Amino acid sequence: MALPESLLITAEQLCDVLRKEAARFGAGSPTIRLQDVAFVEVTDPANSLPSYEGTWRNPQGIRCGSLTFNSDGSYYAEHDVLNPHPDKPAWFVESVTVWGRDGVVKAEPRLLAAV
């Protein structure tokens, strides 16, 4: 299913921020494209309004990212990076995440301690 037209600009913006964050943390030039997300419409149980959940899958069919638009106007996305942190050898970058609402987008890496 396709996203409603009203969400497409924000979805592209979120993909762009994910790409930049992933590249910043050692993922090279990751292929994070909106056209590769498979979306489904879900009903928010709190207010019965539609929300949209999308999933990226790698060539083996394993989930490697998600993009969610909630009925309250908030959004959240994540994408796997799976690289050592470029500046902190004691840390590993599991993924990058972005979230926000009303045009505000924040981003951060999800870190794990290196073993």
Domains of the chain by residue range: 5-113
Residue 18's φ and ψ, nearest 5 degrees, are -60, -45
pTM, full prediction = 0.89
Render pLDDT for 6-19 as a digit per residue (tens, 0 to 9).
Answer: 999 999 999 999 99
Q: Give yes or no for a contact between 110 and 97, defined as CB atoms under 8 angstroms apart.
A: yes
Q: CA 43 from chain center: how many Å? A: 20
- For residue 7, give both structure tokens: 């969400």
- What does each C-alpha distance from 34 to 3, 79, 89 come to in angstroms? 10, 12, 32
| Confidence at 87, pLDDT banded by 50, 70, 90 | confident
The reported pLDDT for the residue numbered 45 is: 86
Residue 40 — φ and ψ, nearest 5°?
-130, 145
Opening angle at CA 56, ends 110 and 50, nearest 5: 95
Q: Spell out the alpha helix ranges (H) of the chain.
A: 5-24
pLDDT value for 107? 96
Of 38, 19, 34, nearest to 80 (Cα)?
19
| Pick from 67, 18, 19: nearest CA to 39 | 67
